[in-house]
Structure 1
Amino acid sequence: MTKELVFEESSGNVFADLDLEDAEEYLTRGKIGIQVLRLLKQRNLKQREISQLLGIPQPEVSYLMRGEFQRFSEGKLIAFLKRLDTEISLHLRPRHAGTQAGETVISL
Structure 2
Amino acid sequence: MERARRTVMSKDETIIEGAGNVFDDLGMPDAAAELVKAQLTFQIAKRIKALGLRQTAAAARLGISQPDVSRLMKRRPTGFS
Place the TM-score, normalised by the shorter chain, in its bin.
0.7 to 0.9
* Percent identity over paired residues: 37
Q: Structure 2: give runs of 5+ residues left out of the alignment.
A: 1-10
CA distance in 2 between counterparts of 1:53 and 1:44 reads 13
Q: Which residue of 2 aligns with 1:64?
A: 72
1:21-100 matches, within 5 Å, as 21-73=29-81
SS at match of 1:72: coil
Could you list the runs of 5+ residues in structure 1 that have no partner in the other structure? 74-108
Q: Which residue of 2 aligns with 1:16?
A: 24
- Secondary structure (helix, strand or coil) at the match of 2:41 reads helix
TM-score w.r.t. the length of structure 2 is 0.77
Cα RMSD (Å)? 1.4
Instruction: Work out the number of aligned pairs and report it.
Output: 71
TM-score norm. by structure 1 comes to: 0.60
